[in-house]
Amino acid sequence: MTVSAPAAELTVGRQGHYAGAVSRLVAFGADVGASWGLYTLGIALFNTSFKLVTGHSYNLTNHQLLALIILGFWEFIYFSYQWAVSGRTLGMAIFGLQVVTTEGAHIGVRQAILRTLSLALSLMFFWFAFWGIIFQRERRALDDLLAGTVVVYSWDARAARLRWMARTENAMHRRVPHPIGREHDPERGRHAAS
Amino acid sequence: MSPNPVGARMEQLAQALAERIVPMVIEAIDIDALIDRVDIDKVVSRVDVDKVISKVDVEKVIERVDVEKIIDRVDINAIVEKINIDALVEQTELGSIIARSTTGILTEILDVIRAQGVGLDDFIFRWGNRLTGRRRRVADWPEGPPLLVEPKVTAGS
């Protein structure tokens, strides 16, 4: 079965455009999951190491304030480091998003840190902080407005299109001889079905 | 031959003399020395190459060339053996295109998910504009930052 390539106007034609609410929300969800997973893994590794070295077990759940401070620090590092390095977090990379300046240039360390702190503020005032993604001219949330950033679609859509084309080409070359002598064209079959 | 018998004999004599003398003269000439004295550069510089080329019917020349015969004489395998594939892949985008074109199903799924996300983003954005009743005004809004997207050219501007 050959699956048709996504429409070019939704992929190649949208690179650099302001990203919308759904992509950003899903990417943020992926980041929360990834950062939480890494935090849990880190805590488990720390507990195991502590037990191996000292012989005593140390459970961070018994020290909730400390756990909260460590989590907050970890989230700060997770977002600010990744934004400073490449303008995108793990979740944003998966969903093809990037944080850039309002002009479209790469953001610096200062903006990355400011955006991370602003994100915390946005989460605190979430009931109005994120409406800008839908209603604002440049689709900027509160954290974007405070940090002077925007979020754009940014993935290698051209390579993705080539990949689809290469796959379609392969499918064309793998034409199966039809029982009554005519060639079965998978491409034609796909278009007929769609 | 001439109708005058004297003239005819004179003509025969001249013919016989020429047959004897011309080879002797040719033998006596040192062709190499003669060529050495000719300034080839000067001769060539006087040739109007453009004029010569304009007189050549290239189409006719091409028609007379048997391309298939030429191709048959070319040793394709020898040429292919001389190509440094590694250098070719390193120096061009070919390597990355091949690598990207042959990656697994996971990246293809990602392509679809990203495109679906863009579609849903548009859907939400359209509904947001309907709710606020600004569908026409949004048409003039920028699609992206100026460094990444060309500004829109609207009818009014």
Closest by alpha carbon to A82, among A26, A134, A38? A38
Q: Among A26, A135, A160, whose Cβ lies nearest the Cβ of B117?
A: A26
Mutate to test the interface with B, among A3, A4, A11, A17 (most CBs of B within 10 A): A17
Name the pTM for this structure.
0.62
Mean pLDDT of chain A: 83
Beta carbons of A167 and B108 less than 8 Å apart: yes
Q: What percent of chain A has pLDDT over 90?
A: 54
Q: Which has the higher per-residue pLDDT, B100 or B25?
A: B25
Mean pLDDT of chain B: 81
Beta carbons of B114 and A11 less than 8 Å apart: yes
A187 band by pLDDT with thresholds 50, 70 and 90: very low
CB A175 within 8 A of CB A184: yes
Q: Which of A29-33, B42-46, B145-149 has the highest mean pLDDT?
A: A29-33
Please say if the pLDDT value at position A72 is more than 90.
yes
| Interface confidence (ipTM) of the complex | 0.77
The pLDDT value recorded for residue A184 is 43
The pLDDT value recorded for residue B6 is 77
The pLDDT value recorded for residue B54 is 85
Q: What percent of chain B has pLDDT over 90?
A: 8
The pLDDT value recorded for residue A158 is 78
Mean predicted confidence (pLDDT) in A159-165 = 73
Closest by alpha carbon to A46, among A81, A79, A70? A70
The pLDDT value recorded for residue A18 is 95
Helical residues (DSSP H) of chain A, grouped into ranges: 21-54, 64-86, 90-94, 109-124, 126-129, 132-135, 142-147, 157-173, 186-193
| Contacting residues for A172 by C-beta, under 8 A, at least 6 apart | A185, A186, A187
A13 touches chain B (CB under 8 A): no
- Partners of residue A181 on adjacent β-strands: none
The pLDDT value recorded for residue B68 is 85
Q: Which has the higher per-residue pLDDT, B29 or A76?
A: A76
CA distances from A89 to A148, A160, B12, B33 (A): 18, 20, 107, 83
Partners of residue B121 in chain A, C-beta under 8 Å: 19-23
Chain segment B3-18, per-residue pLDDT in tens: 677 788 888 888 988 8
Beta carbons of A7 and B144 less than 8 Å apart: no
Chain segment A112-122, per-residue pLDDT in tens: 999 999 999 99
Mean predicted confidence (pLDDT) in B116-132 = 90
Chain segment A171-186, per-residue pLDDT in tens: 555 554 444 444 444 4
Q: Supply A191's token pair.
A: 């278009």
CB B144 within 8 A of CB A104: yes
CA distances from A57 to A39, A66, B142 (A): 18, 16, 57
Q: Supply B70's token pair.
A: 């030429």
Least confident of A6-15, A156-165, B41-50: A156-165
Q: What percent of chain A has pLDDT over 70?
A: 82
Q: How far is B132 from chain A (nearest CA, A)?
A: 8
